[in-house]
Amino acid sequence: MSERLFRGTTSQMLLACLYIAERGIENVALLSAQRSQWADPYFPNLKIRITKAFDENVGVDILHQLKEATATVTGTVQSAHRSLMNLKAEIEVGFKGNPVRKDTLFTQLGLNKLSTHTNSQESYVTVLTILKANLTPTVKAELVQAGASASNIDTLLAQATLLIEANNVQENLKTNRKTGNKANLDALNAIHDEVSDICKLVNTYFVGNKMLLDQFNFTNALKLQGYVPSPRKKNDTPPATK
Torsion of CA 69, 70, 74, 76, to 10 degrees: 10
**160-171 pLDDT per residue, tens:** 888 887 777 777
- What are the DSSP calls for 59-116, one per residue? -TTHHHHHHHHHHHHHHHHHHHHHHHHHHHHHHHHHTTT-HHHHHHHHHHTTGGG--S
Report how far residue 160's alpha carbon sits from residue 133's, in angstroms, rounded to the nearest whole number: 10
Report how far residue 239's alpha carbon sits from residue 236's, in angstroms, rounded to the nearest whole number: 9
Of all residues in the chain, the percent with pLDDT exceeding 90 is 43
Same-domain check for residues 50 and 151: no
Is residue 113 included in any domain, yes or no?
A: yes
The predicted model gives 41-56 an average pLDDT of 89
- The DSSP output letter for 37 is G
Same-domain check for residues 147 and 196: no
**105-143 pLDDT per residue, tens:** 999 999 988 776 666 777 888 888 899 899 999 999 999
Is residue 20 included in any domain, yes or no?
A: no
Same-domain check for residues 189 and 144: no
Predicted TM-score (pTM) of this structure: 0.53
**pLDDT at residue 176 above 60?**
no
Number of domains in the chain: 2
- What are the DSSP calls for 135-177, one per residue? --HHHHHHHHHTT--HHHHHHHHHHHHHHHHHHHHHHHHHT--
Of all residues in the chain, the percent with pLDDT exceeding 70 is 82
Is residue 77 included in any domain, yes or no?
A: yes
Q: How many helices (H) and strands (E) does the chain have?
A: 11, 0
What is the per-residue pLDDT for 228?
74
Same-domain check for residues 160 and 134: yes
pLDDT band (50, 70, 90) for residue 63: low
Same-domain check for residues 76 and 142: yes
Same-domain check for residues 92 and 156: yes
Same-domain check for residues 68 and 169: yes
Report how far residue 10's alpha carbon sits from residue 161's, in angstroms, rounded to the nearest whole number: 28
Is residue 222 included in any domain, yes or no?
A: yes
Report how far residue 81's alpha carbon sits from residue 111's, in angstroms, rounded to the nearest whole number: 11
What is the per-residue pLDDT for 179?
46
Same-domain check for residues 164 and 192: no
Range of the domain at 160: 64-174
What is the per-residue pLDDT for 1?
40
Report how far residue 40's alpha carbon sits from residue 28's, in angstroms, rounded to the nearest whole number: 7
Is residue 217 included in any domain, yes or no?
A: yes
Is residue 89 included in any domain, yes or no?
A: yes
